[in-house]
């Protein structure tokens, strides 16, 4: 059996199992760029806290982007969603769960340094206040990008007002 086939088989087994550390469990992680070739993208998943202690997802990091933040979507009076950073993270109650989903809270990659091609596995480190760091292998799943019908996972988000903290804010337009 070739090394590539063995590596692919091992990767599929590892990706099928949820990430678990310090009582925090991650289910169904996936990611994609906001559109092919764009410098931004998102990661989505369900995070469960199987402990008796409240926790907080305070930040995230990944080697595939210049900056990674935890974002919320705020809908303005005109019905347009704007992404804003959760500056203090997202509360994860004891025995509870949070869902990072398109159109809601999510991990935001800004300044993507390599293309998010289908099947790429992104090493994403989630930083929790109590549980510490948890490495999650997040597969890029372009089939989920196609589910929107418009090639844009960010819906009606207005990236023009998005603070890129000194990064090149040309969003691939």
**pLDDT tens-digit series, residues 87-145:** 999 999 999 999 999 989 999 999 999 999 999 999 999 999 999 999 999 999 988 87
CATH of domain 3-159: 2.60.40.1890
Which residue's structure tokens are 């008796």?
52
Question: Model-level pTM?
Answer: 0.75
CA geometry: angle 61, 105, 56, nearest 5 deg: 60
Report pLDDT for 171: 36
Radius of gyration of the chain (CA): 16
On the question of pLDDT at 147 being above 80, the answer is no
* Distance from C-alpha of 127 to C-alpha of 77, rounded to nearest angstrom: 33
Q: Where are the domains of the chain?
A: 3-159
Q: Which residue has the higher pLDDT, 79 or 153?
A: 79
On the question of pLDDT at 160 being above 60, the answer is no
116: its two tokens: 């998010």
Question: Taking Cα atoms as reference points, which of 172, 158, 163, 168 lies closest to residue 73?
Answer: 158
Q: Which of 76-80, 95-99, 157-161 has the highest mean pLDDT?
A: 95-99
> Is residue 129 classed as helix, strand or coil in its secondary structure?
coil
């Amino acid at each position: 059996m070739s090394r590539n086939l063995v590596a692919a088989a091992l990767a599929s087994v590892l990706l099928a199992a949820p990430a678990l550390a310090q009582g925090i469990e991650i289910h169904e992680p996936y990611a994609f760029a906001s559109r092919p070739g764009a410098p931004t993208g998102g990661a989505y998943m369900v995070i469960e806290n199987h402990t008796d202690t409240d926790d907080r997802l305070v930040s995230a990091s990944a080697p595939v982007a210049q900056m990674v933040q935890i974002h919320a979507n705020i809908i303005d009076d005109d019905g347009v969603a704007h992404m804003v950073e959760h500056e203090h993270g997202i509360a994860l109650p004891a025995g509870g769960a949070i869902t990072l989903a398109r159109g809601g809270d999510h991990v935001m990659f800004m300044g993507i340094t390599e293309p998010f091609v289908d099947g790429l596995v992104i090493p994403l480190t989630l930083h929790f206040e109590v549980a510490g760091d948890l490495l999650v292998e997040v597969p890029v799943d372009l089939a989920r990008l196609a589910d929107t019908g418009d090639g844009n996972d960010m819906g009606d988000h207005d990236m023009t007002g998005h603070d890129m903290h000194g990064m090149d804010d040309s969003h691939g337009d």
